[in-house]
């Protein structure tokens, strides 16, 4: 799919301002879209939108299809009559610029239960729409609602620790569980109904204002997920849930033992039997929520690092060929030309590049990786091709300001190279880098909100391979200077990335059962 020259901002909805402890899909989301429009932006990139599990990472979700209940707006629930003013009178304890997930989860769950009870007591309100939603999403929603209900029943324990009959999903055990947790299951379906309803309103408003949403698709699923529990035959586990092989990456100059991610891998030959039906449903579902899909760890579709399930490090893995070409040809056959961006960072072979280019997927360029003798020349803008997306940094890096302040203090070649390349020796290095990104030939430029606001290391989103304290950053409107939107709109005009009308969407063929 051909893209037009555009500019945008990377900001997950959890990072939006608001009074309920975590950013959500309420009025602040609409206000942010107004800011994007005023700033001449036509892209809003977000992280995966699924329900987060242990560690709060949007890249480790309980479902590859469901939405994150924490993003549901209490204000919108009140507007629809599901909550009262009294229900929202008590606010959670929180700080404006940091999420306390424990408190946010407790607070939101209580509100969702109240909203559901009010829905039940006034069953005529949206009942038909709710039933239609449940029918439309039945292929994943039934399993998801049962899984989350069962997980709560088992005090949050992983599914592999449940009773053996439930682990094996015997017909009798599933039937009994469905009956036992009937009301909880309907409640979780209602929560998903509200999420999808609120998100689609946000997306509709974005599209009406000329803004496309870039969504994120992690290549792998989480172990503790309904996807694995309900479809063990598609993943590298035995019927009792023991991992036979797991995902990761081999040793490199970052780690002598590689990275052991622990995610189950795909049984690709099994998936090919029905022409990748699970993948087709997954892409179709995400395209119902976003306009463009960024695929995380794209190289895994060409070949993946296969590690024994009982390994303690990633050393003993091996590269195994993946059917990426077959998969994307099949997706094209059923869904047409898909708007896909490929996260092609890391050790990328010619074969990975060939797969990316065969389907004309734009790859990623990151300016933080460009400068200094030990970095990669391919990230310097004079080496770009138009079919790519340029970022100042990613969610796994420090903010651009913090990164280069550290390099300046270190006195190495990175900061010196940066100054010479920019021909800039002042203090506002971050903006000059953003200007560089805008001026490049890259079809898309997407800047993290932290860099738009020129924030330091306190605004870093994630420290890879660590648990706790990640994904908590939020911005406040008092950080947004009065002339900021005009500043960026001028950039879009100067470098030919102006806002325009949204093109009509191509019809997506629904996946058959």
| Structural domain contains residue 453 | yes
Plot region of 226 (φ>0 → left; ψ -120 to 50 → alpha; else → beta): alpha
Using CA atoms, how far apart are residues 42 and 59, in angstroms rounded to an integer? 25
Q: Do the domain assignments include residue 14? A: no
Helix (H, G, I), strand (E, B) or coil at 425: coil
- Residue 352's pLDDT is 97
Local confidence band at 513 (pLDDT 50, 70, 90 cut-offs): very low
pLDDT at residue 509, as a whole number: 41
Report the pLDDT averaged over residues 274-278.
98
Which positions ≥6 away from 249 have C-beta within 8 Å?
A: 258, 259, 261, 305, 314, 346, 347
User: How confident is the model over 276-282, as a mean pLDDT?
Assistant: 98
pLDDT at 133 over 70: yes
User: In which element (H, E) is residue 268 found?
Assistant: helix 268-272
**Residue 502: per-residue pLDDT:** 45
265 close to 246: Cβ distance less than 8 angstroms = yes
**pLDDT number for residue 89:** 93
C-alpha to C-alpha distances, 379 to 317, 395, 463, nearest whole angstrom: 29, 17, 22
- Give per-residue pLDDT as tens, 81-116: 999 999 999 999 888 899 999 999 999 999 999 999
| Range of the structural domain that residue 458 is part of | 340-466
Asked if 440 contacts 384 with a C-beta cutoff of 8 angstroms, the reply is: yes
Q: 169, 157 in Cβ contact below 8 A?
A: no
39 in any annotated domain: no
Name every residue whose Cβ is closer than 8 Å to that of residue 248 and which is 6 or more positions away in sequence. 258, 259, 260, 261, 262, 305, 307, 314, 317
**Residue 140 domain flag:** no
**Paired sense of beta strands 363-366 and 388-391, if any:** parallel
**Partners of 260 in the β-ladder:** 248
The DSSP-derived string for 101-163 is: HHHHHHHHHHHHHHHHHHHHHTTTTTHHHHHHHHHHTHHHHHHHHHHHHHHHHTTT--GGGS-
Average pLDDT of the segment spanning 322-331: 98
Q: Helix, strand, or coil here: 30?
A: helix
Instruction: Place 346 in a pLDDT band, splitting at 50, 70 and 90.
Output: confident
Distance CA 409, CA 90 (A): 46
Percent of the chain with pLDDT over 70: 97
DSSP state of 52: B
Whether 276 maps to a domain, the answer reads no
Which structure tokens are listed for 11? 């900001």
Which class for 456: exposed (0-12), middle (13-18), buried (19 or more C-beta within 10 A)? middle
Rounded to an integer, the average pLDDT of 57-75 is: 97
Identify the pLDDT of residue 374: 85
Summarised one tens digit per residue, pLDDT across range 207-224 is 999 999 999 999 999 999
Q: Which residues are catalytic?
A: 296, 343, 396
Mean pLDDT along residues 52-69? 96
31 in a structural domain:
no
Q: Classify residue 120: in a domain, yes or no.
A: no
Percent of the chain with pLDDT over 90: 90
Q: Looking at residues 350-361, what average pLDDT do you find?
A: 97
CB of 366 within 8 A of CB of 448? no
What sign results for the dihedral spanned by CA atoms 348, 354, 355, 358? positive
Look over the chain and give the mean of its residue pLDDT values, rounded to a whole number: 94
Q: Which run of H or of E encompasses 446?
A: strand 444-448
With a cut of 60, say whether residue 419 has pLDDT above it: yes
Stretch 472-500: mean pLDDT: 95
**pLDDT over 50 (residue 503):** no
Q: What pLDDT sits at residue 507?
A: 44
Confidence label for 125 from pLDDT (cuts 50, 70 and 90): confident
> In whole angstroms, what is the distance from residue 388 CA to residue 361 CA?
8
What's the structural domain count of the chain?
Answer: 1
Per-residue pLDDT, averaged over 303-319, amounts to: 95
What's the CA gap between 110 and 83, in Å, rounded? 11
The β-bridge partners of 319 are 305
**pLDDT-derived band of residue 467, with 50, 70 and 90 as boundaries?**
confident
Q: What does residue 391 show for φ and ψ, rounded to 5 degrees?
A: -125, 155
Residue 420 included in any domain: yes
- The neighbour count for residue 89, using CB atoms within 10 Å, is 7
What pLDDT is stored for residue 205 in this prediction?
98
pLDDT higher than 80, residue 504: no
Looking at residue 253, what is its pLDDT?
64
pLDDT greater than 90 at residue 2:
no
């Amino acid at each position: 799919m051909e893209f037009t020259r555009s500019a945008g901002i990377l900001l997950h909805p959890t990072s939006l301002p608001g009074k309920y402890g975590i950013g959500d899909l309420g009025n602040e989301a609409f206000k942010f879209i107004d800011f994007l429009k005023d700033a001449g932006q036509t892209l809003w990139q977000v992280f995966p939108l699924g329900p987060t599990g242990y560690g709060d990472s949007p890249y480790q979700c309980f479902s590859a299809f469901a939405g994150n209940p924490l993003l549901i707006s209490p204000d919108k629930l009140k507007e629809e009559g599901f909550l009262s003013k009294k229900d929202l009178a008590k606010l959670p304890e929180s700080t404006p610029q940091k999420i306390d997930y424990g408190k946010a989860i407790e607070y939101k769950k209580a509100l969702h239960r109240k909203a559901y009870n009010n829905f039940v007591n006034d069953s005529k309100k949206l009942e038909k729409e709710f039933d239609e939603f449940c029918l439309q999403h039945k292929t994943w929603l039934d399993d998801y609602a049962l899984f989350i209900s069962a997980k709560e029943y088992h005090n949050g324990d992983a599914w592999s620790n449940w009773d053996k009959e439930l682990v094996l999903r015997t017909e009798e055990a599933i039937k009994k569980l469905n009956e036992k947790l009937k009301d909880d299951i309907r409640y979780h379906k209602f929560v998903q109904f509200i999420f999808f309803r609120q998100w689609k309103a946000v997306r509709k408003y974005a599209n009406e204002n000329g803004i496309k949403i870039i969504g994120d698709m992690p290549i792998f699923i989480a172990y503790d997920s309904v996807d694995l529990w309900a479809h063990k035959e598609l993943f590298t586990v035995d019927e009792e849930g023991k991992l036979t092989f797991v995902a990761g990456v081999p040793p490199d100059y970052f780690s002598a033992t590689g990275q052991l991610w622990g995610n189950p891998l795909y049984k690709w030959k099994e998936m090919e039997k029905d022409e990748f039906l699970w993948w087709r449903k997954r892409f179709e579902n995400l395209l119902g929520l976003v306009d463009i899909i960024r695929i995380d760890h794209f190289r895994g579709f060409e070949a993946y690092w296969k590690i024994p399930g009982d390994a303690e490090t990633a050393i003993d893995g091996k590269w195994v060929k993946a059917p990426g070409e077959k998969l994307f040809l099949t997706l094209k056959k059923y869904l047409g030309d898909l708007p896909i961006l490929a996260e092609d960072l890391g050790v990328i072979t010619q074969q990975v590049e060939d797969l990316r280019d065969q389907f004309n997927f734009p790859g990623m360029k990151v300016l933080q990786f460009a400068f200094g003798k030990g970095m990669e020349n391919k990230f310097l803008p004079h080496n770009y091709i138009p079919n790519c997306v340029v970022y100042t940094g990613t969610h796994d890096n420090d903010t651009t300001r913090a990164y280069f302040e550290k390099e300046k203090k270190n006195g190495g070649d990175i900061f010196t190279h940066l100054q010479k390349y920019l021909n800039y020796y002042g203090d506002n290095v971050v903006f000059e880098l953003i200007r560089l990104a805008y001026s490049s030939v890259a079809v898309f430029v997407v800047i993290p909100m932290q860099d738009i606001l020129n924030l330091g290391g306190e605004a870093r989103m994630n420290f890879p391979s660590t648990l706790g304290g990640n994904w908590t950053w939020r911005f406040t409107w008092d950080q947004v200077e009065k002339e900021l939107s005009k500043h960026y709109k001028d950039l879009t005009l100067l470098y030919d990335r102006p806002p325009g009308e949204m093109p009509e969407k191509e019809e997506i063929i629904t996946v058959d059962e």
